Amino acid sequence: MKTEVILTHNIVGLGAESDQVKVAPGYARNFLFPQRLAIPMTQANRKHIEALKRKRAEREAHEFNTMTELAKGVQKLICVLKVKTGEDGKMFGSVTSGMIADELKHQFDITLDKKKIHLEHPIKAIGEYEIELHLHADVKSTLKVQVQSLSGVAAPAAAPAEKADETRKPKTEKRGHGKRETEKAEAAPEEKEKKSPAAKGEKPAKGKSEKKAKAE
For the entire predicted model, the pTM comes to 0.60
Q: How many residues does the chain have?
A: 216
Q: Do strands 90-95 and 127-136 pair parallel, antiparallel, or not at all (unpaired)?
A: unpaired
Q: What 8-state DSSP symbol labels residue 196?
A: S
Residue range of the domain that includes 23:
3-71
Residue 196 counted as domain residue: no
What's the CATH code of the domain at 119?
Answer: 3.10.430.100
Alpha-carbon Rg for the chain in angstroms: 42
Whether residue 35 is found in the same domain as residue 16: yes
Phi-psi region of 15 (alpha: psi -120 to 50; beta: other; left: phi over 0): left
Cα–Cα distance for residue pair 84/50, rounded to 1 Å:
54
Domain total in the chain:
2
Residue 105 counted as domain residue: yes
Whether residue 34 is found in the same domain as residue 113: no
- Average of per-residue pLDDT values in the chain: 79
What digits encode the pLDDT tens for the residues 151-167? 766 666 544 444 434 44
pLDDT at residue 197 greater than cutoff 50? no
Confidence of residue 138 (pLDDT cuts 50, 70, 90): very high
Confidence of residue 4 (pLDDT cuts 50, 70, 90): very high
Question: According to the model, what pLDDT value does residue 87 have?
Answer: 77
Amino acid at 27: Y
Q: What 8-state DSSP symbol labels residue 206?
A: P
Whether residue 101 is found in the same domain as residue 133: yes
Whether residue 33 is found in the same domain as residue 100: no
Whether residue 134 is found in the same domain as residue 44: no
Whether residue 101 is found in the same domain as residue 169: yes
DSSP, collapsed to helix, strand or coil, labels residue 216 as coil
Amino acid at 83: V
What's the CATH code of the domain at 37?
Answer: 3.40.5.10
Residue 213 CA from chain centroid, whole number? 96
DSSP track, 55-94: HHHHHHHHHHHHHHHHHHHHTT-EEEEEE-B-TT-EEEEE
* Number of Cβ atoms within 10 Å of the Cβ of 153: 16
